[in-house]
C-alpha cells in the first residue's frame, strides 16, 4: 500500500488524501459501474436577474486525467472536461437560449476544460489550487479554495465567481431589461468522495 504523504504533517496528509480520492476514487467507481462518463459530483451555476436568481447545473462532466504527487502537492494535476450541452436549468426554453449562439454556443464550443494544479494544503479541512478554465474559446486562470464540508459523508465543496464577459459569453444587455443577466456568475462545485471497495488495498 502506498503511504500518501509519509513524513508530512498530519493536516497535509489528510488534505492530500482527500484530493487523491476525489481524483481517482470517483473514476474507479464510475468504471466499476460501467458508466465512465458519469459525473463524479455536481457543478452548479447561479446567475442574478432583476427578477431573481436563476440556477442550473451541468449534468455530464468527467475527470480526464489525474496525477497526484504525495511528496510535492504543488505538482499535482487534475484535468476535467464539461459537456456544456448537458446544461439544465429545469426550463427547456431557457436551456435552448443559454446553449445557443447568444451565450454558450455549444454547437461551436461543445466542451469546457478545467486544469487544476499548484495545490496548496492549507489545513486539515482546506486546500486551494490554481485553476485554468477554457470556455467559449477563451482561457482564464483563477484560484479556487476547497473545503472538506463533511468528513463522515466525504463531501468536498468549492465555489468561485466568474465574469461572463471574460469569456465573451452573452452581452450585458440593457439595464432596463428585466431578463438581463448580471455579468458575475457563481459556480458551485460539490463532490461526494466514494468509500473504497471492501478489501481494496
| CATH number of the domain bearing residue 176 | 2.40.128.110
- pLDDT at res. 20: 43
C-alpha distance from residue 36 to each of 66, 161, 195 (Å): 15, 29, 18
- pLDDT at res. 88: 96
Contact 44, 55 (CB under 8 A): yes
Q: How far apart are CA 72 and CA 8, in angstroms?
A: 10
Which of 171, 53, 162 is CA-nearest to residue 105? 171
Would residue 173 count as lying in a domain?
yes
Q: Report how many domains make up the chain.
A: 1
Would residue 3 count as lying in a domain?
no
Contact 82, 43 (CB under 8 A): yes
Q: How far apart are CA 10 and CA 65, in angstroms?
A: 26
- pLDDT at res. 127: 85
Would residue 201 count as lying in a domain?
no
Range of the domain at 188: 10-192
Would residue 4 count as lying in a domain?
no
Walk along the chain (201 residues) and give the pLDDT tens digit of each residue. 333 344 445 444 444 444 444 444 444 344 333 344 556 789 999 986 656 677 899 999 988 887 766 577 677 788 899 999 999 999 898 899 889 998 899 999 999 999 989 888 898 889 899 999 999 999 999 999 999 888 777 677 999 999 989 999 976 554 444 445 788 899 999 876 544 334 443
Would residue 200 count as lying in a domain?
no
Which of 192, 196, 198 is CA-nearest to residue 153? 192
> 26 Cβ partners below 8 Å, 6+ apart?
40, 41, 63, 191, 193, 194
Please tell me whether the overall predicted TM-score, pTM, comes out greater than 0.75 for this model.
Answer: no
Amino acid at each position: 500500500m502506498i503511504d500518501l504523504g509519509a513524513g508530512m504533517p498530519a493536516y497535509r496528509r489528510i488534505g492530500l488524501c482527500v484530493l487523491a480520492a476525489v481524483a481517482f476514487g470517483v473514476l474507479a467507481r464510475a468504471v466499476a459501474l460501467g458508466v465512465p462518463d458519469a459525473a463524479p459530483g455536481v457543478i452548479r451555476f447561479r446567475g442574478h436577474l432583476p427578477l431573481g436568481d436563476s440556477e442550473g447545473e451541468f449534468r455530464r462532466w468527467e475527470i480526464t486525467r489525474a496525477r497526484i504527487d504525495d511528496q510535492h502537492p504543488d505538482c499535482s494535476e487534475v484535468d476535467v472536461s464539461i459537456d456544456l450541452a448537458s446544461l439544465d436549468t429545469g426550463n427547456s426554453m431557457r436551456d435552448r437560449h443559454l446553449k445557443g449562439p447568444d451565450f454558450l454556443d455549444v454547437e461551436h464550443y461543445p466542451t469546457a476544460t478545467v486544469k487544476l494544479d499548484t495545490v496548496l494544503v492549507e489545513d486539515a479541512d482546506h486546500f486551494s489550487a490554481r485553476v485554468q478554465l477554457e470556455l467559449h474559446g477563451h482561457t482564464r486562470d483563477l484560484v479556487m479554495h476547497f473545503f472538506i464540508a463533511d468528513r463522515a459523508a466525504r463531501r468536498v465543496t468549492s465555489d468561485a465567481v466568474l465574469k461572463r464577459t471574460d469569456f465573451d459569453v452573452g452581452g450585458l444587455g440593457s439595464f432596463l431589461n428585466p431578463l438581463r443577466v448580471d455579468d458575475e456568475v457563481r459556480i458551485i462545485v460539490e463532490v461526494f468522495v466514494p468509500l473504497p471497495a471492501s478489501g481494496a488495498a
